[in-house]
Amino acid sequence: MSGEALVQRFYEELWNRWRLDLSDEILAPDVRFRGTLGTSLVGIGDFRRYVETVRAAFPDWSNRIDELISAGDTVVARIRCAGTHEGEIFGIAPTGRRVAYDAVAIFHLEEEKIAEAWVVGDTQELWRVLGAAPDPA
């Protein structure tokens, strides 16, 4: 499977369809993940808990891939993240507001699995919409 196909599965199946049962197929056992919400973790178990935390807060969360670039064992994805804030996250009570922001993710692959993922997004927009950051206007 190509690196781009693996990253597509990561977003389409693990995140957009909440298919965490596929984690062992897609992720290295000691995967290192840094999420756009500031979370850093190691291992599939911690990754699953992180995804469930996001899912509890944003049940309709989705990641749309706008562009994939690959070079060797590295794949970069430009994505659009979106969801409706329906559950508490990081101490912020549900607002019912729709959140959408752009992000870039860098994946390093080993033995046809994701060994490392670093996701950086426009979380200033996320926190502003949730009322946790001042409106720049």
- Tell me what pLDDT residue 137 has: 56
- Tell me what pLDDT residue 135 has: 57
- Tell me what pLDDT residue 27 has: 97
Euclidean distance between the first and the last CA atom of the chain, given in angstroms as a whole number: 46
Q: How far, in Å, CA of 52 to CA of 58, rounded?
A: 10
Contact 20, 10 (CB under 8 A): no
CA-based R_g, the chain, Å: 15
Give the domains, in start order, of the chain with CATH numbers.
Answer: 3-129 (3.10.450.50)
Q: Nearest Cα to 8, choosing from 57, 63, 81? A: 63
pLDDT along the chain (137 residues), means of 10: 93 95 96 88 95 94 97 97 93 92 96 96 83 65
- Tell me what pLDDT residue 83 has: 95
Q: How far, in Å, CA of 110 to CA of 78, rounded?
A: 21
Q: Nearest Cα to 75, choosing from 122, 26, 30, 14? A: 26
Model pTM?
Answer: 0.90
- Tell me what pLDDT residue 136 has: 58
Contact 116, 33 (CB under 8 A): yes
Q: Is the dihedral of CA 90, 93, 94, 100 positive or negative?
A: negative
